[in-house]
Amino acid sequence: MAESRLYDQLKEACATEWEEYTRHKFVLGIADGSLQLEAFRFYLVQDFLFLKHFARAYALAVYKSEHLEDMRAAAGSTAAILGETGVHLKYCADWGLNEDDIVATSEAPETTAYTRFVLERGMAGDVLDLHVALSPCAVGYAEIGRLIVDELGPKASNPYQDWINVYSGDEFGDGAASQVAMLDRQMALRGGPGRFDGLVETFRTATRLERDFWQMGLNAVK
């Protein structure tokens, strides 16, 4: 276990929660195109609101980092996410969602719970705690994209194919790989015998909140 990357160790320790997240009914519905369109629209709006806080979390990583290369990496992620918000709004428009309405929408409880947890871990802990809290999203979406393509098999004429293409693509995959490498770097700098159990609990909670974020979309159309 000591030879494994931290990310792999965390996933192994949270295997049940990881399975519930990456193979959630919402994900399976995206994979085969059966997900109700209104569930996906609701998710898209909340995901935009989530991205704003995600950018704040990476900005916090700049502040928390002590080494220039780590600051640059976090600043690059912040800029990329802020750029992604514009792309996200354009994608929402393709789904008939108006930008003004999206921006004015209130956060769902699941959005608030997840984003505030990540920010709290970053503020109360160190930059390793923060990157662990970020990783179920930053790396997990890339895994889900590849899972859909390699194992579940996207279907023809899938209305969610553009979403699948983004998260299974090389650009997002490269970002995920950088996040995994950052976990190892921060563990080497800040880790120790007493850190792992606490990091597991942070990772487990963030993974559960990701699962709840999927469920939020399904609950919105019940």
By C-alpha distance, which of 216, 24, 222 is closest to 112?
A: 216
pTM listed for this prediction: 0.94
CA–CA gap between residue 163 and residue 145 (Å, rounded): 9
**Confidence at 1, pLDDT banded by 50, 70, 90:** very low
Residue 146 burial (10 A CB sphere; 0-12, 13-18, 19+): middle
Tell me, what's the pLDDT at 154? 62
Tell me, what's the pLDDT at 157? 84
Task: Find the mean pLDDT for residues 62-85.
Answer: 95
- Domains in the chain, start-ordered, CATH in brackets? 6-219 (1.20.910.10)
The two structure tokens encoding residue 110: 């699941």
Residue type at 56 in one-letter notation: R
Residue 156 has pLDDT above 80, yes or no: no
- Percent of the chain residues past pLDDT 90, beyond the cut: 88
By C-alpha distance, which of 111, 178, 108 is closest to 139?
A: 178
Question: What letter does residue 169 receive in the DSSP assignment?
Answer: S
Taking each helix axis from N to C end, the angle separating 161-168 and 25-32, rounded to the nearest 10 degrees, works out to: 110
